[in-house]
Amino acid sequence: MTATGAPRVLLVEDDPQLLTMLRILLTEEGYDVDTAADGQRGLHLGLTRDYDVVVLDRGLPAIEGLDLLARLRGKGVVTPTLVLSAQGNPADRVAGLDAGAEDYVGKPFDVDELLARLRALRRRHLDVARSLPLPGGRLELDTRNVLPDNGNPVRLSERECALLATLAARPGHVFSRSQLLGLVFGEAESEVVVDTYVHYLRRKLGRRIVDTVRGRGYQLGNSR
């Protein structure tokens, strides 16, 4: 979600007319839309920016849609995804869902149904996203409590919670200090603040809650 509160969608579609139509439609619905006309660009955006939902064509140049989705899931990107495809038979739907899609819509599609499906995807994702899995426990976003599998709850500050939630939302993804600065703290501050809050999290939750990837940045730890 953007700073203005608009949900952010990544739209990956190689048909220029359909891409333009969907971009206008989604913008009118209140979404902040990023577009990509091929799988390579879609993969880059999906790995470097955060989205509330992805709309993904199956038949894409450069990287096929389901291959793109599998690569995103393999990198820990859990953004809910709706696949659009001219291949609408049951076997193709099963392949799309098995690749990691939350929903699959055949072309041609009804516009109102598509928008309703996107709203439903976002609602389900928001319900789940209020609690994020951690190594050895969970992070409850509403209370800012870490609930260990064994032990007492640990309360985090607002910034500690925001940093840990950013890492936990994409387990396995390595964030650079500059990325975390922009996502959590704001560009006006120094990257040193990222290191400071990583230290705070480790002090409260144990050193292995955040892993340092030398020369690259930080990621969620694998174990406590």
CA dihedral 165, 168, 169, 175 (to 10 degrees): 90
The C-alpha atoms of residue 208 and residue 135 are separated, in whole angstroms, by 9
Amino acid symbol at 158: E
Is the residue at 2 inside a domain? Answer: no
CATH code of 75's domain: 3.40.50.2300
What Å distances lie between residue 194 and 134, 172, 180, 189, CA to CA? 19, 18, 7, 9
**Predicted TM-score of the model (pTM):** 0.60
Domain range enclosing 195: 131-220
The C-alpha atoms of residue 94 and residue 52 are separated, in whole angstroms, by 23
Residues 110, 197 within the same domain = no
Mean pLDDT per 10-residue section of the chain, whose length is 224 residues = 71 96 94 95 92 92 91 82 81 78 87 90 68 86 88 92 86 85 75 93 94 93 66
pLDDT confidence of residue 35:
97
Write the pLDDT tens digit of every residue in 212-224: 999 999 999 975 4
* Domain end among 105, 129, 153: 129
pLDDT confidence of residue 3:
47
Residues 91, 202 within the same domain = no
* Domain end among 129, 158, 176: 129
Tally of domains within the chain: 2
Tokens 């190594």 found at = 135
Please give the structure tokens belonging to residue 35: 């577009």
Write the pLDDT tens digit of every residue in 121-150: 887 766 555 778 898 898 988 889 999 988
* CA angle in degrees (0–180, nearest 5) for 169-40-63: 100
pLDDT confidence of residue 170:
77
Write the pLDDT tens digit of every residue in 144-170: 999 998 889 999 999 999 899 888 877
CATH code of 164's domain: 1.10.10.10
Amino acid symbol at 167: L
Is the residue at 1 inside a domain? Answer: no
* Domain end among 129, 157, 178: 129
Residues 12, 100 within the same domain = yes
